[in-house]
């Protein structure tokens, strides 16, 4: 972290996945934290605005990722595939891409990474389970498996090299819940930004797993073991309660999408080329 009287807290923050849904939300909102925001994606990101740098980069290209990391102080890693897909694609973007990113972080001396992990790392827990960060992963898809890999790889780079990472297991970050499950997993855009702020500015984070969720009435996830970050969500899905009125109809016992925390992702199954 760099700081002078005339500069922002960071000189340069890298945001990967800048063309994605969450990347587009974050693009403007992280600018107060850095003199320069370097935006990266495979897709078109449009022209660079004030205080921005645009770098198109394939995360599977090791040399390109190393160049991407030059001059960077901290990384917000939102790049890669964010849904279930054939394994070859997931392997390139989410597994090889993650390995390339952390090796570049190590070689260039970056000290802090915030990794956009996913609630699908634990999707095969039942919705009657309460989880904390020490519960074993139970991914619900190959996409979820790739996020488990990312969490483990970041743990290795912390234990081996001291590179601090916060893995945010993002719930459902959309303008509003689309179904009753999302009433539990809802994460507002404001709370997402606040989780990133806390993850970047906490003096020490070590290797932390944070469940990315707002202060919703029903809860599956316990963030006690990430309390040192100081993340306190301000929003709640309670404002959307009228969209899903109470009913006495219960789902079928074999309806796995309502039995497991992964919801509809459970039905995707592994995809091979």
d(CA 90, CA 85): 6
d(CA 229, CA 167): 12
Query: Among this protein's residues, is 143 annotated catalytic?
Result: yes
d(CA 68, CA 83): 24
Looking at the DSSP assignment, which residues form a beta bridge with residue 207? 165
Q: Which helix (H) or strand (E) holds 160?
A: helix 142-161
d(CA 16, CA 189): 17
d(CA 16, CA 166): 15
DSSP-based three-state secondary structure for 48: coil
Q: What is the rounded (10 degree) CA torsion for 205, 210, 212, 217?
A: -120
Q: Which of 144, 125, 133 is nearest to 82 (CA)?
A: 144
Q: What is the secondary structure of 200-221 as a DSSP string?
A: HHSS--SEEEEEE----SS-SB
Q: Which helix (H) or strand (E) holds 55?
A: strand 52-56
Candidates 143, 157, 158, 186; catalytic one: 143
Show which residues are catalytic: 143
């Amino acid at each position: 972290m760099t700081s002078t009287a005339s500069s922002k807290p960071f000189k340069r923050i890298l945001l990967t996945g800048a063309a994605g849904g969450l990347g587009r939300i974050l693009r403007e909102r992280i600018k107060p934290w850095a003199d320069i925001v370097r935006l990266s994606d495979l897709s078109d990101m449009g022209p660079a605005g004030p205080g921005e740098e645009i770098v198109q980069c394939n995360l599977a290209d090791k040399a390109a990722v190393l160049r991407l990391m030059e001059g960077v102080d901290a990384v917000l890693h939102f790049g890669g595939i964010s849904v279930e897909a054939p394994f070859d694609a997931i392997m390139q973007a989410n597994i090889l891409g993650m390995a390339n990113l952390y090796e570049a972080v190590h070689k260039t001396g970056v000290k802090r990474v915030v990794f956009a992990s996913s609630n699908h790392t634990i999707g095969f827990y039942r919705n009657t389970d309460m989880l904390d960060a020490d519960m074993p992963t139970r991914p619900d898809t190959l996409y979820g498996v790739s996020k488990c890999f990312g969490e483990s790889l970041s743990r290795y780079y912390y234990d081996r090299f001291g590179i601090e990472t916060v893995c945010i297991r993002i719930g459902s970050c959309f303008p509003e819940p689309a179904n009753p499950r999302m009433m539990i997993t809802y994460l507002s855009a404001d709370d997402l930004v606040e989780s990133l702020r806390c993850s970047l500015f906490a003096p020490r984070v070590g290797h932390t797993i944070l469940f990315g969720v707002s202060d919703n009435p029903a809860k599956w996830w316990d963030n006690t073991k990430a309390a040192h970050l100081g993340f306190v969500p301000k929003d709640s899905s309670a404002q959307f309660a009228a969209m899903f009125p109470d009913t006495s109809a219960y789902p079928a016992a074999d309806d796995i999408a309502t039995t497991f925390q992964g919801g509809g992702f459970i039905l995707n199954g592994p995809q091979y080329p």
